[in-house]
Structure 1
Amino acid sequence: MHSLHEKVAVVTGGACGIGASVVKEFVKEGAKVTILDINEQSGKQIEDELSVKYGERVQFFLCDVTDEEQLMNAFDEVTARWGDLDLVVNNAGIADESFPMYKKQIALNFTTVITSTLRAMEVMRKDKEGKGGTIINVSSILGLMRVSPGPFVYGAIKNALVHFGSTIGMEAYYSRTNVRVITICFGLTQTSIIQNTKSFDEQINTDAEKILRDILVRSPGQTTDIAAKGVAESYKNGTSGSTWLVNNGVISDITSSVVKAYHVMSEHVIARR
Structure 2
Amino acid sequence: MSRLENKVAIITGGARGMGEAHVRRFVSEGAKVVFTDINEESGNALASELGENAKFIRQDVTKAADWEAVVTETENSFGPINILVNNAGISLSKSIFEMTEEDYRKIVDINQVSVFLGIKSVLPSMQKTGNGSIVNISSMNGLVGGAVGYTDTKFAVRGITKAVAIQVAGLGIRVNSVHPGVIETPMVTEGDAVEVIKEFAKHIPIQRMASPEEVSNLVLYLASDESSYSTGSEFVIDGGLTAM
Q: Note whether the superposition's TM-score is higher than 0.5.
A: yes
In structure 2, relative to structure 1, the CA distance for the partners of 1:156 and 1:48 (3 Å cut) is same
The CA deviation string for residues 13-35 of structure 1, in whole angstroms up to 9 with x for no partner, is: 00000000000010111111011
Taking only aligned residues, the RMSD between alpha carbons, in angstroms, comes to 2.6
Distance (Å, rounded) in 1 between the aligned partners of 2:116 and 2:187: 21
1:134 maps to 2:130:
no
In structure 2, relative to structure 1, the CA distance for the partners of 1:225 and 1:210 (3 Å cut) is closer
Name structure 2 gaps, 5 residues minimum: none
- The answer to whether the Cα contact below 8 Å between 1:36 and 1:62 also exists between their aligned partners in 2 is yes
Q: What is the aligned length?
A: 230
Distance (Å, rounded) in 2 between the aligned partners of 1:90 and 1:111: 11
3-state DSSP of counterpart to 1:190: coil
| Cα drift, residue 234 of structure 1 | 2.2
Distance (Å, rounded) in 1 between the aligned partners of 2:221 and 2:158: 18
Return 235-244 or 184-193, whichever deviates more: 235-244
Whichever residue aligns with residue 28 of structure 1, its letter is S
Distance (Å, rounded) in 2 between the aligned partners of 1:225 and 1:210: 22
| Cα drift, residue 197 of structure 1 | 7.4
Counterpart of 1:212 in structure 2 is 197
The CA deviation string for residues 119-168 of structure 1, in whole angstroms up to 9 with x for no partner, is: 1112212xxx442311110000011113xxx4121111111111211232
Distance (Å, rounded) in 1 between the aligned partners of 2:169 and 2:43: 33
Counterpart of 1:226 in structure 2 is 214
- The answer to whether the Cα contact below 8 Å between 1:226 and 1:249 also exists between their aligned partners in 2 is no
Q: Computing the radius of gyration over CA atoms, which structure comes out larger, 1 or 2?
A: 1
Identity %: 28
3-state DSSP of counterpart to 2:149: helix
Whichever residue aligns with residue 145 of structure 1, its letter is V
Distance (Å, rounded) in 2 between the aligned partners of 1:75 and 1:45: 22
| Cα drift, residue 82 of structure 1 | 0.8
Counterpart of 1:264 in structure 2 is none
Counterpart of 2:4 in structure 1 is 4
Name structure 1 gaps, 5 residues minimum: 199-207, 258-273
Whichever residue aligns with residue 142 of structure 1, its letter is N
The CA deviation string for residues 67-91 of structure 1, in whole angstroms up to 9 with x for no partner, is: 2211211110000111221101000
State TM-score, norm by structure 1: 0.76
State TM-score, norm by structure 2: 0.85
1:49 maps to 2:58:
no
Whichever residue aligns with residue 155 of structure 2, its letter is N
Q: Paired residue for 1:107, among 88, 106, 109?
A: 109
Matches within 5 A, 1:156-195: 156-170=152-166, 173-175=168-170, 177-194=171-188
Matches within 5 A, 1:138-157: 138-146=137-145, 150-157=146-153
3-state DSSP of counterpart to 1:6: coil
